[in-house]
Amino acid sequence: MIATSIKTKKSLFWKCGLVALFIILFLWLLYNPSSSSSSVLSTEKNESITEQPIEQTTQCLATKDGQASTKYAIMIDAGSSGSRVHVYKFNICNEPVLENEEFHMLKPGLSSFQDDPEAAAASLNELLDIAVKSVPQEDQSCTPIAVKATAGLRLLGAEKSEAILQAVRRRLETYPFPIAGENGVEIMDGKDEGVYAWITVNFLLDKLKKDGQSAAIFDLGGASTQIVFEPTFVPSATMAEGEHKYSLDYQNDTFTLYQHSYLGYGLNEARKRIKAEMIDMWQDEAKRTGRVYHPCLPDGHEEKFDYENSTVTLIGTGAGHAACRSVVERVFNKDKLCETNPCAFDGVYQPPLTETFKDRDLYVFSYFYDLTQPLGMPSEFSVRELGELTTRVCNGERKPFRHMPDAIKQLSDDANYCLNLSYIYNLLKFGYNIPSDRLVRTAKKIRGAETGWCLGASIAMLDQVNLCKA
């Protein structure tokens, strides 16, 4: 009897203990701060930083001066090949934290309406309507909007481009959003485009800190390409003075950046130059027969090409990467006078990446991403691997892509794929002088947000503009 009683008490003791332990564990999980959701800039050890989604922040609901902590910004990227709207939602309790992005694009770009400014402005209606739906009505009158055109519009000339910009401004004034100042509708300076892209990438990577770990960016649009990085010099050396030197103030820190925008070296403009290069080399043949053979185009492919005041038929030879590369390299003007050494290409000064940016991340995006990802390239690859991919494509090899039907279709449908790949490979290796064994990273999005200059420009806009529409 006594033994049974002791046994019963022991059983009751263990049951009570287990219940108490469960309650303690439940309360710990409920109130432990580390279990709450983190902001967009948190880092997960076992997840690629480019694949992490934008998360809802747990920051405060109001700023120190009592203003709402949520702020929206609208940026329209009027590029050479199309227009894109980005609607950003930020928490601005302290430094901006991105909570959400709405993105939509359409074609063609504003420059396609060079003789009809009103039609150019009307082409943005769909994007503006998306912005209206994306921003709560009560926030619309204090949500700044900007339209930034890039190099493609500049190529139309001052008169036509200005007429389009004025028509766009008039169109924006019919919407509930305040235009972000005098520069709210403009052709963006190339250096700003690159620096804003640098801000975007480093903001999303949580590298906007003065610890010398910022990433370099290489952007490739249709009309221009940009390079921006924060070089580190030995004590006895400094960056040469000039327009390439950019001082950026952000969150009480100052970053001294190297930047340059190469107008005419975007993919679409470079492709025209590469095709024209062969005609320049064979002018007599072009005048006599109206036909010129081109090694960067597939064997047997024919296309009409406008050259100066005539039309020339280009005939592909499919001669392979080595032959194509010999033509591509000519457009970089490596022999142009270099007034301030060292130079990258086209006579432009650039601190050597091998000395001033030895082991930090290099991010390449836009057309770099669009051309490599459909062919199965990983998000990180060496310049040499890009060259090997280019060789396979230019040699007409299809076996490496036989398990990727979409890649086979793209290679079959786009006669310029060899030329395009040869250009981006040579831009990195021969133009920007990146060593063959150096790794580059590419992404369309980082932590759920689009790469490119738009986010960086929106962050700068929030910092500079605080206005509401009456």
Asked if 182 is an active-site residue, the reply is no
Q: Residue 26: pLDDT band by 50, 70, 90 thresholds? A: low
pLDDT, mean of residues 280-284: 93
Tell me if domain 70-188+453-464 and domain 193-266+328-447 are identical in fold: yes
Range with lowest mean pLDDT among 36-50, 250-264, 372-386, 426-440: 36-50
Say what the pLDDT of residue 1 is. 43
Give residue for tokens 């991105």.
98
**For residue 48, pLDDT beyond 90:** no
Handedness of CA 457, 461, 462, 468 (dihedral sign): negative
Catalytic residue (one of 193, 230, 329, 450) = 193
CATH architecture of 193-266+328-447: 2-Layer Sandwich (3.30)
**For residue 5, pLDDT beyond 50:** no
Stronger pLDDT, 387 or 52, i.e. the higher one: 387
Q: CA–CA separation, 107 vs 84, rounded Å?
A: 9
Class of domain 70-188+453-464: alpha beta
Question: What is the domain partition of the chain in residue ranges?
Answer: 70-188+453-464, 193-266+328-447
Question: Is the Cβ–Cβ distance between 328 and 422 less than 8 Å?
Answer: yes
Ranked by mean pLDDT, the top range of 4-8, 90-94, 166-170 is: 166-170
Question: Is the Cβ–Cβ distance between 90 and 72 less than 8 Å?
Answer: yes
pLDDT digits (tens, 9 = 90+) for 188-222: 988 898 999 999 999 999 998 888 799 999 999 99
Whether the predicted model's global pTM rises above the 0.85 cut: no
Question: Is the Cβ–Cβ distance between 70 and 56 less than 8 Å?
Answer: no
Say what the pLDDT of residue 39 is. 28
Q: Residue 6: pLDDT band by 50, 70, 90 thresholds? A: very low
**Could you tell me which residues are annotated as the binding site for ATP?**
222-226
pLDDT digits (tens, 9 = 90+) for 289-336: 999 999 999 999 999 999 988 999 999 999 999 999 999 999 999 999
Closest CA to 414 of 286, 267, 221: 267
Q: Alpha carbon of 113 to those of 60, 163, 401: distances in Å?
A: 46, 11, 39
Say what the pLDDT of residue 469 is. 86
pLDDT, mean of residues 419-442: 98
Say what the pLDDT of residue 209 is. 84
pLDDT digits (tens, 9 = 90+) for 350-365: 999 999 999 999 999 9
**For residue 231, pLDDT beyond 70:** yes
Question: Is the Cβ–Cβ distance between 389 and 421 less than 8 Å?
Answer: yes
Stronger pLDDT, 294 or 223, i.e. the higher one: 294
Give percent of the chain with pLDDT exceeding 90. Answer: 72
Say what the pLDDT of residue 93 is. 83
**Could you tell me which residues are annotated as the binding site?**
222-226
Say what the pLDDT of residue 109 is. 93
Mean pLDDT, rounded, of the chain: 87
Q: Residue 468: pLDDT band by 50, 70, 90 thresholds? A: confident
Closest CA to 257 of 271, 268, 242: 242
Amino acid at 166: Q
Q: Which residues of 107-129 are buried (b: 16+ CB within 10 A; e: fewer)?
A: eebbbbbbeebeebbebbeebbe
Residues paired with 440 in a beta bridge: 381
Helix (H/G/I), strand (E/B), else coil: 214: coil
pLDDT digits (tens, 9 = 90+) for 440-458: 999 999 988 888 899 999 9
**For residue 31, pLDDT beyond 90:** no
Say what the pLDDT of residue 23 is. 56
Q: CA–CA separation, 215 vs 359, rounded Å?
A: 10
